[in-house]
Amino acid sequence: MKRVVTAFDLLASVSEMSRLAGGKLENVYRTGAGYLFKFAGGFVAVTKFRVSLTGIVPEKTHEGAETLRGLFRDERLLAVSMPRFDRIAEFVFPTGRLVAELLEPFNIVAVREGRVVWLMHSYKGKDRAVVPGAAYAYPPAVFVDALSADVEELAKAIDPSDLRRSLIRRLGTGPELADELIARAGESPRDIAAEFKTLIERVRAGALEPTVCIKGGVPVTVMPIRPVSLNCDEYKSFDSFWSALDFYFSPMELEATAAQATQGIAQRRKRLEASIKELEEKIPEYRSEAAKLKAVAHKLLVYKVEIEEALAGRESSIRVVNVDASKIRIELPEGGGVELKKGVPLGRQITELFEKAKELEEKARKAEQVLEKLRKELSALEEQQRRAEEALKASAKVVAKRSWFEKFHWTVTTGRRPVIGGRDASQNEAVVRRYLKDHYFFFHADIPGASAVAAPPMDDPLEILQVAQFAAAYSRAWKIGIHAVDVYYVRGEQVSKQPPSGQYLAKGSFMVYGKREYVRHIRLELAVGCRRDGDVYRAVAAPPKSAPLLAERYVVVTPGNKEKGKLAKELAEKWGGCPVDEIAATLPGPSRISEEGRGAPMPWEEVEQIFATW
């Protein structure tokens, strides 16, 4: 069963991750299995199992990722590459690069100006040293590099007398790909080399057939091509290789996370299990020894008179043998013997045997009580561990495939009209340049520093009010604590990025010409909620009146003094499902909750259809 991606798998993964190039690294998180990188175009999981795009976000934290986040956050990704045909992936940024080594020991290394500035683990071996401040070098190459070598070079490395072994040892294919190449190309080294290069070029070009092989109901491997060499009960196909990797590796990652998170419980369980095993062995021993002592005491009691006669030197059926200066041995008529102390009355020795047997029985009784207590403690720990593992698995959220409008502030009016607004100056620019049609309406709070909001034309004053509320909420007025602001709106044709002669417009700024229509004294309030679409949870924002159309549960917030990160965490715990960072992204700033509500949201497909009319 595959436990880590192969170099061939990683090549396919790098091909998919390359689409992130040009986007910013928005955040870095620590997870139980490794690290999670949030790029503008999606998430990347870097764990000991794989490096790939991912649609599953496990429980995450900023702790342990602070330095790494400080190094590259908000930088644009220039490229994702594979320096050679090996399990090494590299993320290149303007100020440095991040290298993920899936070799033993698994490591992530941040490099600037050729030197290590951060790493998961320091490493010193015969081949190299990877320590802070040292010059970074890749692990020594042990294979012919299939990415740069031509067919002839690859063919020379393949031993015709031992095809599989040479593919694994000289070309680094691993057993899985070696078997696949032989199954596809036969036993000619040159044909195998040509097939190898063909597959590499196919994968580099993104021509993938992501497949998971399932045997006996259990996934046993995942490949970026449909294998012909494997005898599978079922071949499960996927639209992307990263989703196949999610399907295959996320259970392993969750298992590793659970094992780490419950390490303390596991250690306590181990100690309890050892104590229970010891008691389970001791209790029968105590009882067995007590039974033996009582049996001996009873025999001595039966033959007490005869033994005393023998000890006195008189004729008896008992034979007495000296053992040493302190002990004698008596031979009983039915066979067997018992050692006794010299000079100690027989009656006292019989009493001592009964008392010792009683002590052992008491020990056994108390041990059974302790054993029962330990078993209950173990059962409670097992339940605690089970719940912790289930909670961790439940915390892993499926990331939604984002529609185009979700990168903006977005909402829907009660009349089911789509609305978008810029999150920053760059997005304000995009809203005006790309999405604001001449006959559409442009809304803006009458205060510097506000979202540029666009919507189709509308006649209903209530809908106009709702869009104005949305524009007012995402303005500087919220952050500075103003509770009401005027909002104006104009037709798109009145908005221009062309400044008057001799003047300059900053990024995100624009000129508005002609008459403005005002909606006065708009109260700053916004509904923020959570919706579930299958396995996907989404945080949404809306004017209070249209919130029931979008969210199952929501709150109406107004400017307040609770930091949005803290409020987002409270709401995430209360609602369950929606990620904290997504809820925080919908909050305009420090807030307070004024009311709560529930809705019956329209299907997500209907939301997408509304925005498809843009």
Q: What DSSP line would sit under 363-402, residue for residue?
A: HHHHHHHHHHHHHHHHHHHHHHHHHHHHHHHHH-EEPP--
pLDDT of 397 above 70 = no
Mean pLDDT of 200-218: 95
DSSP-based three-state secondary structure for 25 = strand
Confidence of residue 427 (pLDDT cuts 50, 70, 90): very high
**What's residue 216's pLDDT?**
92
Confidence of residue 401 (pLDDT cuts 50, 70, 90): confident
Q: How far apart are CA 422 and CA 429, in angstroms?
A: 8
pLDDT of 566 above 80 = yes
Right CATH for 262-399 from 3.40.720.10, 1.10.3720.10, 1.10.8.50, 1.10.287.370: 1.10.287.370
Q: Whole-model pTM above 0.75?
A: no
Angle at 338 between CA 332 and CA 339, to 5 degrees: 140
Q: How far apart are CA 168 and CA 164, in angstroms?
A: 6
**What's residue 400's pLDDT?**
62
**What's residue 476's pLDDT?**
95
DSSP-based three-state secondary structure for 309 = helix
370 Cβ neighbours under 8 A, 6+ residues apart: 279
**What's residue 393's pLDDT?**
64
**What's residue 57's pLDDT?**
85
Among the listed residues 75, 90, 78, the one whose alpha carbon sits nearest the alpha carbon of residue 27: 75
Label each residue of 56-123 as H, E or C: EECCEECCCCHHHHHHHCCCECCEEECCCCCCEEEEEECCEEEEEECCCCCEEEEEECCEEEEECCCE
- pLDDT above 70 coverage of the chain, percent: 98
396 Cβ neighbours under 8 A, 6+ residues apart: 56, 57, 58, 59, 250, 254
**What's residue 123's pLDDT?**
87
Mean pLDDT of 65-73: 94
Mean pLDDT of 245-249: 95
Phi/psi class of residue 597: alpha, beta or left (left: φ > 0; alpha: ψ in -120 to 50)? beta
Angle at 126 between CA 121 and CA 132, to 5 degrees: 35
Q: Would you kindly state where each structural domain of the chain is located, as residue ranges?
A: 7-135, 262-399, 409-502+510-613
Confidence of residue 579 (pLDDT cuts 50, 70, 90): confident
* 46-55, 134-143, 312-321, 597-606: least confidently modelled range: 312-321
**What's residue 62's pLDDT?**
87
Q: How far apart are CA 100 and CA 257, in angstroms?
A: 19
- pLDDT, tens digit (0-9, with 9 covering 90-100), for 464-514: 999 999 999 999 999 999 999 999 999 999 998 777 776 777 777 788 999
- pLDDT, tens digit (0-9, with 9 covering 90-100), for 302-348: 989 998 888 888 888 888 888 888 999 989 888 788 999 998 999 99
Task: Judge contact between 46 and 100, C-beta under 8 A.
Answer: yes
Q: How far apart are CA 238 and CA 214, in angstroms?
A: 13
Strands 234-237 and 218-223: unpaired
Q: Which fold has domain 7-135?
A: ibrinogen binding protein from staphylococcus aureus fold (2.30.310)
pLDDT of 20 above 90 = yes
Task: Kindly state the greatest CA–CA separation across the chain.
Answer: 140
Question: Cis (ω within 30 of 0) for the bond into 544?
Answer: no
pLDDT of 416 above 70 = yes
DSSP-based three-state secondary structure for 295 = helix
Confidence of residue 394 (pLDDT cuts 50, 70, 90): low
Task: Judge contact between 119 and 100, C-beta under 8 A.
Answer: no
Mean pLDDT of 156-180: 96
Q: How far apart are CA 132 and CA 116, in angstroms?
A: 5
Mean pLDDT of 589-597: 96
Task: Judge contact between 225 and 211, C-beta under 8 A.
Answer: yes
* 163-172, 173-182, 270-279, 451-460: least confidently modelled range: 270-279
169 Cβ neighbours under 8 A, 6+ residues apart: none
The overall average pLDDT reported for the chain is 92
